[in-house]
Amino acid sequence: MAYHFRFGPVDLLRCRFSLSPRWETQEAVRVLRDARRQAYHLPWLRRIREAAQTLDLRPLWLLMPRKGHHPDFLSPPPLGPSVTIGEELARVRATDPEAAGGELRRSLACTPGALESSLGRRMLADPARAVRELADLHERAWEVLIAPHWPRLRAFLEADILFHSRRLAAGGLEALFDGLHPDLAWSGDTLTVDRATHHDRRLDGQGLLLMPSAFVWPEVVGGYDPPWQPTLVYPARGIGALWAAQAEATPRALAALLGRARADILCALTEPASTTVLAHRLGLAPSTVSAHLGTMRAAGLLLTARHGHQVLYERTPLAIALTGGGSWTGGPSGGAPS
């Protein structure tokens, strides 16, 4: 048994990356329930513990069977490379109630007793209301669990996309899939995901949407029945360092050379990041960060790459040598500000 994604010639040209705040919200909710997924997220769990107690997540958990179907309408694949939570939830709220009812019943049937539970019966009795209530609960979960941490999570996911985009450019799809997850295997025109259930999908010119996730670890998730976009969600690389505090201060000598603000920005770029993410991380105005980034790019210390509507900055080998691979701690270690 396995998932099979069968590629045609056009599909090879239409593979793309995206990220989804709504997906991260869904999987964060799942992490709260599944202790097997919590090992890398303990710092985050400590931070959100009190706020999470204000949420009644039972309706969402009821639709997350250990094995079986999760309603596709609750997690539609994103339509673009950088969608907002509002755009994604608008699609959920626009779900046809009849289609939602069928998916709810299919999902509830995967959990013993769920169809007969009061919560399950209520969902099936009025699917339109269930869609509204589930979307509203997703929105509250986003606000409590993900929104305060989204700049860090988004930078983490964008860095993964940039890494794998370069891997794709250098070695093609075979090299890309070889590095995404050990359960993936590429043979001929087919990508196979080692799973206990069966799913067989011809991409038929739609290509495959690849989506990194912080909270899906250690799983790789594939599927979606037509008419949904074929999608593969995989654990973003470097998850062990996602919530880790930075260990080194900005070197004093570098601050004396470049000025405190520029040195802090350079050391904070341990992975590609946008102006907005850096401003949030350093507590500086975006305009200030943008000016410093422009100066350092002109000096040959930074490279840029575009992801959707965002420009990501990363250090050149010269900058890496100057920083000694160091990273920012969030506070100055002496010297005058620039």
89-131 pLDDT, tens digit per residue, is 999 999 999 999 999 999 999 999 999 999 999 999 999 999 9
Verify that 124 and 270 share a domain, yes or no: no
CATH code, domain with 258: 1.10.10.10
Verify that 138 and 272 share a domain, yes or no: no
Verify that 112 and 69 share a domain, yes or no: yes
Verify that 263 and 202 share a domain, yes or no: no
Whole-prediction pTM value?
A: 0.76
Q: Is residue 291, in this structure, part of any structural domain at all?
A: yes
What are the tens digits of pLDDT across the range 292-305?
Answer: 999 999 999 998 88
Point out the domain boundary residue: 207, 239, 271: 239
Verify that 30 and 110 share a domain, yes or no: yes
Q: Residue 287 has what pLDDT?
A: 92
Interhelix angle 85-93/127-141, rounded to 10 degrees, is 170
Under the banding of pLDDT at 50, 70 and 90, the label for residue 327 is: very low
- Number of compact structural domains in the chain: 2
Verify that 223 and 137 share a domain, yes or no: yes
Give the pair of three-digit tokens for residue 242: 């996602």
Please say if the pLDDT value at position 245 is more than 80.
no
Give the pair of three-digit tokens for residue 70: 């999760």
Q: Is residue 198, in this structure, part of any structural domain at all?
A: yes
Verify that 155 and 207 share a domain, yes or no: yes
Q: What is the DSSP letter of 145?
A: I
What domain range includes position 83? 2-239
Q: Residue 162 has what pLDDT?
A: 83
Give the pair of three-digit tokens for residue 263: 């040195």
Q: Residue 329 has what pLDDT?
A: 41
What are the tens digits of pLDDT across the range 62-93?
Answer: 999 988 889 999 988 998 877 899 999 999 99
Which one-letter amino acid corresponds to residue 13?
A: L
Verify that 296 and 187 share a domain, yes or no: no
Verify that 58 and 157 share a domain, yes or no: yes
Alpha helices in 94-234 (DSSP H): 97-108, 118-125, 127-141, 150-180
Verify that 159 and 290 share a domain, yes or no: no
**Alpha-carbon torsion angle 148, 151, 152, 156, nearest 10:** 140
Q: Is residue 12, in this structure, part of any structural domain at all?
A: yes
Number of H helices, E strands in the chain: 13, 10
What are the tens digits of pLDDT across the range 192-221?
Answer: 998 877 888 999 999 999 999 999 988 898
